Amino acid sequence: MSNSSSGNVGIVIVSHSSKIAEGAADMVRQMVGNAVPLAWTGGDADGGLGTNVAGILEAIEAAWSSAGVAILVDLGGAETNSEMAVEMLAEDRRARVVVCNAPVVEGAVIAATESSGGSSLAAVKRSAEEFYA
């Protein structure tokens, strides 16, 4: 998990596999650089495959930006757990976090690229989701 403070939209990568989450984050770092707050989480509470709400909440915190946070997820449970995590945020933060309907790796790279240019949360989400359009 890594962090950098900026006014750019933060990116959180959530995968059932911590290796995929970490690897996708590595890709984002190498391709986009450090201008974007970035965090990842993967695996269940015991370190097995899965996702967990507590880990997602920590990642949102680590990637927090005043511009908001975009979450990229892989399979169904990652999405459901991410939505649950968003609902558990304090009210003033909840509206500034979105779960993107996009492929996790490509979505994370394009979302981070969009974010690094200072785009809004809505624009970051839209760019990531164009992969499914």
Partner 1 sequence: MSLDRGAREKLVRALAASMIEHAEELTSLDQAIGDGDHGLNMKRGFEAVLATLPGLADKALPEMLKAIGMTLVMKVGGASGPLVGTFFMELGKALPEQPARTDLVAAADKAIDAVKMRGRSEAGQKTLLDVLVPVQAVFAGGGDAKAIAAEAAQAADRTTPMLATRGRASFLGERSIGHMDPGSRSASLLISAAIAALEFEATS
Q: Rule CB under 8 A: choose which of 10, 37, 50, 68 binds partner 1.
A: 50
**10-49 binders of partner 1 (CB under 8 A):** 16, 44-46, 48-49
59 is catalytic: no
Cβ count near 66 (within 10 Å): 11
As a whole number of angstroms, the distance between CA 118 and CA 97 comes to 16
Nearest 10 degrees: CA dihedral of 49, 70, 72, 76?
70
- The DSSP symbol for 95 reads T
Cβ proximity to partner 1, 32 vs 97, nearer residue: 97
Catalytic residue among 10, 16, 107, 111: 16
Nearest to 10 by CA among 77, 72, 83: 72
Verify binding: residue 132, partner 1, rule CB under 8 A. Answer: no
Residue 52 beta carbon to partner 1: minimum distance, rounded to whole angstroms: 5
Q: Examine residue 89 and tell whether it contacts partner 1 (CB under 8 A).
A: no
Tokens of 46: 């015991």
Inter-residue contact 113 to 100 (CB < 8 Å): no
Residues listed for the chain: 133
Interface with partner 1, residue 84, by CB under 8 A = yes
94 binds partner 1 (CB under 8 A): no
Residues near partner 1 (CB under 8 A) are: 16, 44-46, 48-54, 75-77, 80-81, 83-84
The residues carrying an active-site annotation are 16
